[in-house]
Amino acid sequence: MRSFLTRIAKGTYRSDIEKEHLPILEELLREHIVKESDDGTLVLDAKYRAGTLDVLPSGTAFLEMIGAKGRDLLIEPQNLHGAKNGDYVIVRRLFGKAGRPSAKVVKIVQPAFVYGIGYIKMTESGLEPFHIKTDLPMELKSTTADLEEHTVFQVDNRTSEITQILGSLLDPAVDEKISLAIFNKQEFFSKEAETEAHSWGDVVDASLYPDRTDLRHLPFCTIDPVDAKDFDDAIFWDETNHTLYVAIADVSSYVTPDCAIDKEARSRGFSIYFPHKSIPMLPRALSENICSLKPDVDRLAYVCRLELDPETLETKRHTFFEALIRSKRRYNYDEIDAYLEAGMANAPERDEETLRFIFPLKKVADRLRAERLKRGYDFMSNEVRMTLDEKQNLLATRIEASTPSHSLIEECMLLANRAAATHFDYGIFRIHEPPTPDRRIGKNRYLRGRE
């Protein structure tokens, strides 16, 4: 949607519009929001602007303009006309008012979320529906007369109809349902996807893969959070040849285009992590079993082999290839941090083979990081971890900061990612959107507090 709005804001031709956006274009033409010139150029009328909404807790919003320069436009609550935070909208500029440039929403082009979450709240006027995120009143077509206070429900933002009742705000377990309902995600997989996943069994028969490079003799290890169930990457450092091996679980060998698993994975898009459990993008029979690089079992992997210059640590050569590996050890970050601090003196015999390359690799990672930060920035990345009881009541929170073991893995993955990037002449890159006005205000307050 962003590319479509950028095109009509700057001027484009019908042939450049994606097929899925043609119906929206026709609507905008009928409503005279977009004009078509004699030479076929399509452009947003000068009275209008396109962008995304940043709605503040007060109800006031700002339009972050797409395809146009200038200050964010102020939109008063009464001029939102049902638009919500993050929505792609068309606004009409308001003239004749002193102060900050302002506008009113005339069309919601695409909701930020197809589904929203509301709850019933007691007000001076009685029980009324409110948006759970902004705590602003909700306009619904569905009746809420039969709903009790604290009832939580899912709403289809396209129709303003309640689609399902999720539970009560007084029940700690409703948090999980809310998180899934916002994105309309499901915990359980279809029968077809589960059947496909289980059909691969639990064991990799190496004789079926004669064309793969056999690296089962190398002592790979995995390093993950203590509660991880799926181990999707493993490392090995060849100190003699100054060569790093980064092995990634080869999911593509089990998921073929347009199979049931592939369709569900595209619908899910990502794995979801809760404090007490995860909901994977792929069935657990794959993600936590046959694809997972568990120790002491044969697994299919896609490997990046990087030969580094001992002096500069620049990558001299790299190759990508399909392989068979057999991880020797599954570590968590805490275990590796403890070894890095105390050394190998008290290490059990089973750890000696892997730790022999972990210690020199850590020195390499430290040098790589120091060199990288000469031209980059070290972002603070503390995360809040929560501990819940069996009823999902919050027992405690803790701050999990980046540690030496995290840094070691990060540098290995960055090297592999940089090597992979050299194989693309062009591609799709993930970037960070510009900060919203609310975040800019928060940043300024934070920086003032550090003066």
| 3-class SS of residue 390 | coil
Percent of the chain exceeding pLDDT 90 equals 65
Across residues 92-99, what is the average pLDDT? 81
* Nearest-angstrom CA–CA distance, 253 and 304: 17
Across residues 181-204, what is the average pLDDT? 92
| 3-class SS of residue 23 | helix
- CA nearest 225: which of 69, 65, 337? 337
Across residues 84-103, what is the average pLDDT? 87
Where do the DSSP E strands lie in 174-262? 213-214, 221-224, 233-238, 243-249
Average pLDDT across the chain, whole number: 91
* pLDDT at residue number 353: 94
- CA nearest 187: which of 80, 72, 126, 271? 271
Residue 96 has pLDDT above 80, yes or no: no
| Per-residue pLDDT tens over the stretch 301-329 | 999 999 999 999 999 999 999 999 999 99
φ and ψ at residue 130, rounded to 5 degrees: -130, 150
Two tokens, residue 251:
């999911």
- CA nearest 303: which of 247, 249, 251, 253? 247
**Best mean pLDDT range from 335-349, 359-373, 416-430:** 359-373
**Least confident range of 129-143, 226-240, 430-444:** 430-444
Across residues 260-288, what is the average pLDDT? 91
pLDDT bucket at 206, cuts 50 / 70 / 90: very high
pLDDT bucket at 106, cuts 50 / 70 / 90: very high
Which of 170-174's residues contact partners 24+ apart within 8 Å by CB, and which partners? 172/388, 172/391, 172/392, 172/393, 172/394, 173/391, 173/392
Distance of CA 315 to the CA centre of its chain: 29
Two tokens, residue 30:
């009928």
- CA nearest 59: which of 31, 79, 38, 36? 79
Distances in Å between the alpha carbon of 276 and those of 174, 183, 384, 401, 410?
13, 19, 13, 19, 25
Percent of the chain exceeding pLDDT 70 equals 98
| Per-residue pLDDT tens over the stretch 377-412 | 777 667 888 888 888 888 999 887 789 999 999 999
* Nearest-angstrom CA–CA distance, 446 and 237: 41
* Nearest-angstrom CA–CA distance, 79 and 97: 14
* Nearest-angstrom CA–CA distance, 416 and 412: 6
Residue 237 has pLDDT above 70, yes or no: yes
* pLDDT at residue number 380: 65
Instruction: Please answer whether residues 19 and 32 qualify as being in contact, where contact means their C-beta atoms are separated by less than 8 angstroms.
Output: no
Length of the chain: 451
Instruction: Please answer whether residues 301 and 195 qualify as being in contact, where contact means their C-beta atoms are separated by less than 8 angstroms.
Output: no
Instruction: Identify the DSSP state of 157.
Output: T
Instruction: Please answer whether residues 234 and 247 qualify as being in contact, where contact means their C-beta atoms are separated by less than 8 angstroms.
Output: yes
Across residues 285-297, what is the average pLDDT? 97
- CA nearest 209: which of 297, 278, 298, 143? 298
* pLDDT at residue number 378: 76
- CA nearest 114: which of 165, 45, 185? 185
| Per-residue pLDDT tens over the stretch 37-88 | 999 999 999 999 999 999 888 889 999 999 988 888 999 999 998 888 889 9
Any residues with CB less than 8 A from the CB of 55 and at least 6 apart, and which?
61, 80, 84, 85, 134, 136
- This prediction has a pTM of 0.72
- CA nearest 51: which of 8, 96, 99, 95? 8
In terms of C-beta density within 10 A (0-12 exposed, 13-18 middle, 19 or more buried), how is residue 300 classed? buried
The torsion angle over the Cα atoms of residues 305, 311, 312 and 313, rounded to 10 degrees, is 20
* pLDDT at residue number 310: 94
* pLDDT at residue number 451: 59
Sheet strands side by side (includes 126-131)? 126-131, 115-123, 151-156, 161-168
Two tokens, residue 295:
């120790």
* Nearest-angstrom CA–CA distance, 25 and 35: 10
Residue 92 has pLDDT above 90, yes or no: yes
* pLDDT at residue number 245: 98
What structural domains does the chain harbor? 2-110 (2.40.50.140), 115-182 (2.40.50), 211-421 (no CATH)
Any residues with CB less than 8 A from the CB of 175 and at least 6 apart, and which?
392
- Over its C-alpha atoms, the chain yields an Rg (Å, rounded) of 27
Instruction: Please answer whether residues 69 and 75 qualify as being in contact, where contact means their C-beta atoms are separated by less than 8 angstroms.
Output: no
